[in-house]
């Protein structure tokens, strides 16, 4: 199977494979930041928001969860993803989304 071409699709694939989430939403917020950062990804996808609920986050604090997601998406960040907002929860935890 070939690698997804969009940043959003690659993020969804990577997080799905690594976290087995019960909920996952990847939102491209780049249009809110037009002109803020050059299109260095080549796709126009420079700002993403990740909302994810996974049992892998159980017992972890907010910082540990964010570090885990950042490590999983390291290649995207190094390739030019400018901003990544992370909303991570364990099953049963309250979310605002």
Domains and CATH numbers, the chain: 7-89 (3.30.300.90)
- Look up residue 56 and give its two tokens: 């892998």
Q: In whole angstroms, what is the distance from residue 71 CA to residue 18 CA?
A: 11
Residue-wise pLDDT tens digits, 49-65: 999 999 999 999 999 99
- Look up residue 51 and give its two tokens: 């909302």
Closest among 17, 22, 80 to 47, alpha carbons compared = 80
Q: In whole angstroms, what is the distance from residue 47 CA to residue 41 CA?
A: 10
pLDDT of residue 41: 45
pTM score, whole prediction:
0.84
pLDDT of residue 35: 54
- Look up residue 69 and give its two tokens: 């997601």
Q: Do the Cβ atoms of 86 and 69 come closer than 8 Å?
A: yes
């Amino acid at each position: 199977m070939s690698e997804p071409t969009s940043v959003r699709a690659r993020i969804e694939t990577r997080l799905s494979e690594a976290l087995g989430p019960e909920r996952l939403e990847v939102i491209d917020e780049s249009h809110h930041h037009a002109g803020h950062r050059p299109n260095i990804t080549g796709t126009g996808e420079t700002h993403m928001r990740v909302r994810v609920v996974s049992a892998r986050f159980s017992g972890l604090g907010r910082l540990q969860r964010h570090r885990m997601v950042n490590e999983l998406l390291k290649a995207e960040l190094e390739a030019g993803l400018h901003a990544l907002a992370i909303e991570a929860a364990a099953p049963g935890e309250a979310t605002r989304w």
